[in-house]
């Protein structure tokens, strides 16, 4: 799903020795800074079901408002806040499709055996996430159905498919570097069309906004990978511009993407306290432009500890909370990958002797292999940090299936199209029944058409030959 091949071999080695990493010692000033910055914010409750409104008239003093809010946040933050934005150097080429993140390399494959048990019973010793009553909704942002699309795909066809599926949300990834390739040079045209078209069809929009342009990156940074800006206020101002421009047409913004991974952190995982500092500045800017915009924290990638390449996502989430995450987010982003682990399976005991292409989940146990393990792990962290009223937004999840998988995605060969359909439906049903999950976005609708033959296509509901079984299973799934 967004996975980079370079981390495959590293992850399998790290997970074999994984014993957990203690939460970093975050300076007390982190939480104090968030609290100080939030005192000036108006009280608000984000509304997930707001009716799209016309684009408001531009506010002349937006820059001053955003700058004041951001400065209030960053002034008291630890002194490792990045330096001011460097002089622009070069304009990057736009990225047309999301870049996958790492998946561990398979270990030795045992001889297959018949009649595997797909979903083993819950182990007696496990500590499960707190379970509210079925069908309840906990927090201010209830469950709903969403799916990610290629923003350069066929909008009319995609809208028809989203409506046929009975889904109400669409996720679009808007790379900052594509919209502002040079300082102040905004390329809004395509996005005005894309966002306006989906919103005009009555579909709610989540924007995922990562990838700083080269001119905003720190001096000497590795430009061969994505990374955050040198100056968080510069990013915050951009998000304020986006929020103001698309107020009423975009309902939610996810701030960054998989920041616990080296590829999205500028060559190393972004330290969690630095990410929360950037999120706090973004939160101020977004709320200054539209208090009702839903701010989703950037989803970590499911991973173990891999020195210099990745930080265990549950440890990372705990560190984010220690730095003040609770006060600068409306929902918690997650990317609960499925690999070749069934939706309802417990990572501690799952086994499938017919899985001959990839044995990671069964022989190198870790929560990150399984949808349920990631979701319940995040929920436990939220409860432990007094944030139980908030919902998790899986902004990306799913199961790849391919008879001829791309290199380093061998697990896709273990998943039949029928299993892909079954597990995807089960994941939506579980998320709704848990009651602590918000809008849940499947990865993906149309990359099987727009990026046919690539690793991205292995998750696509639409393929050159037509929809896969998961499409019809989701369309027929009750959605009260």
Q: Could you report the per-residue pLDDT of 330-340, keeping only the tens digit for each?
A: 999 999 999 99
Look up the domain containing 360 and give its range. Answer: 133-475
Query: Are 83 and 333 a contacting pair, CB within 8 Å?
Result: no
- Residue 201's Cβ-count burial label (10 Å; 0-12, 13-18, 19+) is middle
What is the crossing angle of helices 272-289 and 232-245, to 10°? Answer: 30
For residue 476, what are its two tokens?
């027929």
Q: Please check the confidence at residue 311 and state whether its pLDDT lies above 90.
A: yes
Cross-strand pairs, 147? 170, 442
Q: Which of 15-24, 321-330, 367-376, 443-452 has the lowest mean pLDDT?
A: 15-24
Whether omega before 315 lies within 30 degrees of 0, making that bond cis, reads no
pLDDT per residue as tens digits for the range 229-264 = 999 999 999 999 999 999 999 999 999 999 999 999
Q: Is 111 domain-assigned?
A: no
* Bridge partner residues of 440 (DSSP): 145
Q: Is residue 312 part of a domain?
A: yes
Find out whether 349 and 372 touch, Cβ atoms under 8 Å: no
What band does 42 get if pLDDT is binned at 50, 70 and 90?
very low
Burial of 447 (0-12, 13-18, 19+ CB in 10 A): buried
Q: Rounded to an integer, what is the distance from CA 452 to the centroid of its chain?
A: 23
Q: Please count the structural domains in the chain.
A: 1
- pLDDT, tens digit, 9 for 90 and up, residues 457-474: 999 999 999 999 999 999
Check residues 368 and 127 and name the one with the higher pLDDT. 368
The residues with which 261 forms a beta bridge, in sequence order, are 310
> Is 366 inside a domain boundary?
yes
pLDDT value at residue 69: 56
For residue 392, report the phi and psi dihedrals to the nearest 5 degrees.
-85, 135
Residue 472, pLDDT score:
98
What is the model's pLDDT at position 480? Answer: 76
Residue-wise pLDDT for 382-411, tens only, equals: 999 999 999 999 999 999 999 999 999 999
Q: Of all helices (H) and strands (E), which one includes residue 274?
A: helix 272-289
pLDDT at res. 75 = 54
334-365 burial, b if ≥16 CB within 10 A, otherwise e?
Answer: bbbbbbbbbbbbbbeebbbeebeebbbbbebb
> For the chain, what is the mean pLDDT?
81
pLDDT of residue 74: 54
8 Å CB contact between 37 and 69: yes
Does 71 or 109 have the greater pLDDT score? 71
pLDDT band at 65 (very low <50, low <70, confident <90, very high): low
Tell me the pTM.
0.79
Asked if 143 contacts 438 with a C-beta cutoff of 8 angstroms, the reply is yes
* Whether residue 127 has pLDDT greater than 60: no
Residue 102 φ then ψ, to 5°:
-75, 150
Domain-embedded: residue 342 = yes
Per-residue model confidence (pLDDT) at position 67: 61
pLDDT at 2: 46
> How do residues 23-39 score in pLDDT, each as one tens digit?
333 334 444 444 444 44
Report pLDDT digits (tens) over 265-307.
Answer: 999 999 999 999 999 999 999 999 999 999 999 999 999 999 9
431 within some domain: yes
> Residue 468: which region, alpha, beta or left (left: phi > 0; alpha: psi -120 to 50)?
beta
By percentage, how much of the chain surpasses pLDDT 70?
A: 71
Residue 302 lies in a domain: yes
Predicted confidence (pLDDT) at residue 361 exceeds the cutoff of 70: yes
Task: Give me the CATH number covering residue 144.
Answer: 3.20.20.80
Give the pLDDT band of residue 73 (cuts 50, 70, 90). Answer: low
Give per-residue pLDDT as tens, 178-194. Answer: 999 999 999 999 999 99
Q: How confident is the model at residue 440 (pLDDT cuts 50, 70, 90)?
A: very high
In a domain, 32, yes or no: no
Query: Is 253 contained in some domain?
Result: yes
């Amino acid at each position: 799903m967004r996975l980079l091949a370079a981390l495959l071999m590293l992850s399998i080695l790290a997970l074999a020795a994984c014993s957990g990493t203690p939460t970093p010692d975050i300076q007390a000033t982190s939480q104090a800074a968030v609290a100080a910055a939030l005192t000036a914010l108006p009280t608000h409750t984000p509304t997930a079901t707001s009716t799209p409104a016309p684009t408001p008239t531009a506010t002349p003093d937006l820059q001053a408002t955003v700058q004041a809010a951001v400065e209030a946040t960053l002034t008291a933050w630890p002194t490792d806040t990045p330096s001011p934005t460097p002089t622009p150097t070069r304009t990057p080429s736009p990225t047309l499709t999301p870049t996958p993140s790492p998946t561990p390399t398979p270990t030795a494959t045992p001889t297959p055996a018949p009649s595997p048990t797909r979903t083993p019973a819950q182990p007696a010793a496990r500590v499960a996430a707190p379970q509210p009553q079925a069908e309840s909704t906990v927090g201010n942002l209830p469950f709903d159905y969403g799916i990610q699309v290629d923003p350069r795909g066929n909008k009319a066809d995609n809208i028809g498919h989203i409506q046929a599926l009975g889904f109400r949300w669409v996720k679009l990834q808007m790379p900052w570097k594509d919209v502002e390739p040079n300082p102040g040079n905004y390329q809004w045209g395509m996005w005005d069309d894309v966002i306006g078209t989906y919103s005009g069809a009555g579909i709610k929009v989540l924007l995922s906004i990562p990838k700083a342009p080269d001119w905003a990156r720190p001096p000497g940074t590795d430009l061969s990978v994505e990374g955050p800006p040198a100056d968080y206020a510069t990013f915050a101002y951009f998000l304020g511009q986006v929020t103001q421009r698309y107020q009423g047409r975009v309902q939610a913004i996810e701030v960054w993407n998989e920041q616990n991974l080296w590829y999205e952190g500028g060559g190393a995982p972004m330290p969690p306290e630095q990410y929360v500092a950037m999120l706090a500045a973004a939160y101020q800017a977004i709320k200054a432009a539209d208090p009702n915009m839903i701010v989703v924290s950037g989803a970590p990638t499911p991973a173990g500890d891999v020195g210099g390449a990745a930080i265990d996502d549950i440890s990372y989430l705990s560190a984010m909370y220690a730095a003040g995450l609770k006060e600068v987010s409306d929902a918690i982003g997650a990317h609960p990958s499925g690999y070749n682990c069934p939706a309802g399976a417990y990572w501690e005991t799952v086994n499938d002797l017919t899985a001959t292409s990839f044995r990671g989940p069964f022989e190198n146990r870790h929560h990150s292999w399984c949808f349920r393990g990631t979701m319940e792990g995040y929920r436990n962290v939220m409860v432990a940090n007094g944030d139980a009223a908030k919902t998790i937004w899986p902004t990306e999840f799913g199961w790849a299936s391919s008879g001829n998988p791309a290199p380093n995605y061998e697990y896709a060969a273990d998943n039949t199209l029928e299993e892909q359909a079954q597990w995807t439906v089960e994941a939506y049903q579980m998320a709704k029944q848990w009651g602590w999950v918000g809008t849940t976005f499947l990865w993906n609708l149309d990359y099987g058409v727009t990026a046919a033959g690539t690793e991205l296509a292995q998750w696509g509901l639409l393929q050159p030959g037509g929809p896969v079984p998961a499409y019809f299973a989701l369309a027929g799934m009750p959605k009260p």
